[in-house]
Amino acid sequence: MLPPFRTEPFTDFSKPENEAAFRAALEKVKAEMGRSFPLVIGDRRLLLDQTFTSINPSRPSEVLGIFSKGDVSHADMAVATALEAFKTWQYTSVADRARYLLRAATELRRRKHEFSATMVLEVGKSWVEADADTAEAIDFMEYYARQAMRVADSSHLLVPNPGEQVGLYYIPLGVGIVIPPWNFPLAIPTGMLTAALVAGNAVILKPAQPSPWVAWKLCELFWNQGLPPGVLNFVSGPGSSTGAQMVAHPKTRFIAFTGSRDVGLNIFEQASKVPPGQIWLKRTILEMGGKDAVVVDETADLEAAAQGIVAGAFGFQGQKCSAGSRAIIVGDVYDQVANRVVDLTRKLQIGAPDIGPHIDMGPVVNLDSMQKIMGYIEVGTQEGELLLGGSPVETAEGGYFLPPTIFGDVTSNARIAQEEIFGPVLALMRARDYDDALDIANGTEYGLTGAVYSHDRARLEQARREFHVGNLYLNRKCTGALVGIHPFGGFNMSGTDSKTGGPDYLLLYTQAKSVAERL
Ligand code: NAD
């Protein structure tokens, strides 16, 4: 019997002992920089000649790790190996599988700062953001372990039939490919991986190119718990070839993907094809991008709204699917809110986040990303009034630093109001009234998160009905979903609304078997 699930508390870095512990973790992780990492397929460790590096975006010349570049032959090898391991793993008891997750959670809690420090270096998270990422990973392990035991045998939900013994069992699917993004490089792979494993599937993790180090550490954590070889395989390499091969493979049973709209659509299409030798329809769990909006009306607590807008837009440099990249403010209070948002944003501290907990914003993840965001800033100068930011922040070490950038009076059909930028760029938009604001908010192809600041009860109820997003927040910021509390996933082009961290999520990694025996 397990104690009830509780979310992992966040670390208070204002306490000197916590700051000291985090600094020690950073030193430990820095001392490990520059190692080479193999692919792990079953019990084989393949250190390849073809490699790619993981770098620190604050100081791009700093190489964190050298990773083997798996190709399509490794993709095939990994699927075959996972299929073999699945033959026995599928019959391990759910309690045994859950125990792996619980042990991993205990170990991760013990080494929490080490994992967070890795993210500070590898993707430029602030201490607070990295700590929240690790806490979420622990939560997924603890939550899915409990959910697995709840759902595996659901026979008690059936209607009894005299003369028959009836059962309903959620059994695993087979070999799954887990394809995460780099922006929650610990929590998101952990969520998809642990759900797949605890449901009895064998898994291949293909980490995102910018964040293989923390993904490796996650897999190692599980291998150290004694997971049988082949149940969890690590294949680093390019998504467009190695990842695509695993998606297309006839023995792949499901794909759990989190990432951009375009790659998600590509996987959706490729997975729908049935190559020779494939005897099932692949399942796809696809969580994609967002163009999330914060609506503010004239009855709102304007200070709370401005704070929520700034936190939602610029936390982790705006590189969250849930980032509030549009603030839609009714005309009467537009100027007041816009001025306050600009004032608060000016106070954000930018720098290499390993310096200390006072850094609010680190670099964006890599040069490609920086150039893409700069392209949107260029577009923005044609589409709105530049109120803050706009040019890269130069550093001696050439880090990928962009300032928080705010455009005012952006119209609803502007590109910077429609397309996901995935960087620290906020569009402020003026609405005629509340109805107009909701129309603008709903006026993109996405539907992930949204927030409304208002003290008008009827309008809050209207938002509950009409604001078409998977995660709606009333009088609070639009980021920061908690496992078990805010099941997460979006509508329309934001994905398949799988609701990670929710009571139904695990079922996506299973198939239901109904058994009736005449007595
Ligand atoms: P991305 O789509 O570029 O890459 C995601 C993953 O897909 C990577 O591991 C990549 O290697 C792999 N990949 C690329 N092409 C592939 C192919 N053809 N076949 C198989 N795999 C392939 O996304 P990203 O830049 O890593 O992450 C940012 C995106 O993720 C943003 O759009 C963000 O909104 C989204 N995201 C969504 C959620 C959510 O829950 N909805 C959460 C986090 C991030």
Answer whether 36-288+497-518 and 293-482 agree in fold: no
pLDDT in tens, 14-66: 999 999 999 999 999 999 999 999 999 999 999 999 999 999 999 999 999 99
Q: What are phi and psi of 512, to 5 degrees?
A: -90, 130
* Per-residue pLDDT tens digits for 442-452: 999 999 999 99
pLDDT of residue 1: 78
Q: Specify the pLDDT at position 227.
A: 97
The atom of ligand 1 lying closest to the CA of 422 is 31
Can you tell me the mean pLDDT for 451-457?
A: 98
Asked whether residue 353 carries a pLDDT value surpassing 90, the answer given is yes
Using one digit for the tens of pLDDT, what is the confidence trace for 486-503? 999 999 999 999 999 999
Q: How large is the average pLDDT for residues 191-202?
A: 98
% of the chain with per-residue pLDDT over 70: 100
Quick check: CB of 210 below 6 Å from ligand 1? no
Note the pLDDT of residue 224.
97
Q: Where are the domains of the chain?
A: 36-288+497-518, 293-482
Considering the candidates 114, 136, 142, 287, report the single residue annotated as catalytic: 287
Which alpha helices (H) appear in 175-243, and where do they start and end? 187-198, 212-223
21 C-alpha to ligand 1 centroid (Å): 32
Instruction: Specify the pLDDT at position 489.
Output: 98
Among 200, 186, 408, which residue's Cα sits nearest to residue 316? 186
**Domain spanning 36-288+497-518, CATH architecture:** 3-Layer(aba) Sandwich (3.40)
Distance (angstroms) between ligand 1 centre and the Cα of 259 equals 2
Measuring CA to CA, how many Å separate 424 from each of 163, 200, 293, 364, 407? Answer: 64, 40, 14, 9, 11
| pLDDT tens-place string over residues 112-129 | 999 999 999 999 999 999
Q: How far apart are CA 489 and CA 502, in angstroms?
A: 10
Element (H, E) at 203: strand 202-205
Q: Is 258 in the pocket of ligand 1 (CB under 6 A)?
A: yes
Of residues 295, 319, 331, 335, the one with CA closest to residue 443? 295
Whether the CB of 92 sits within 6 Å of ligand 1: no
Q: What confidence tens digit (pLDDT) does each residue in 327-340 have?
A: 999 999 999 999 99
pLDDT tens-digit map of 281-300: 999 999 999 999 999 999 99
Segment 496-511 mean pLDDT: 97
For the Cβ of 260 lying below 6 angstroms from any atom of ligand 1, the answer is: yes
Q: Per-residue confidence at 210, pLDDT binned at 50, 70, 90?
A: very high
The mean pLDDT of 133-155, rounded to a whole number, is 96
CATH of 293-482, one of 3.30.70.260, 3.10.520.10, 2.60.120.10, 3.40.309.10: 3.40.309.10
Cα 164–chain centre separation: 45
**pLDDT score of 372:** 98
Residue type, 203: V
Per-residue model confidence as pLDDT tens digits over 226-260 = 999 999 999 999 999 999 999 999 999 999 999 99
Ligand 1 center to 265 CA (angstroms): 11
Instruction: Verify whether residue 19 is a known catalytic residue.
Output: no
Atom of ligand 1 nearest to the CA of 260: 32
Q: What is the pLDDT of residues 398-444, one digit of tens each?
A: 999 999 999 999 999 999 999 999 999 999 999 999 999 999 999 99
Q: Which of 234, 263, 471 to mutate to test the pocket of ligand 1 (most atoms within 8 A of CB)?
A: 263
Token reading at 123: 């993707």
In this prediction, residue 187 has a pLDDT band, given cuts at 50, 70 and 90, of: very high
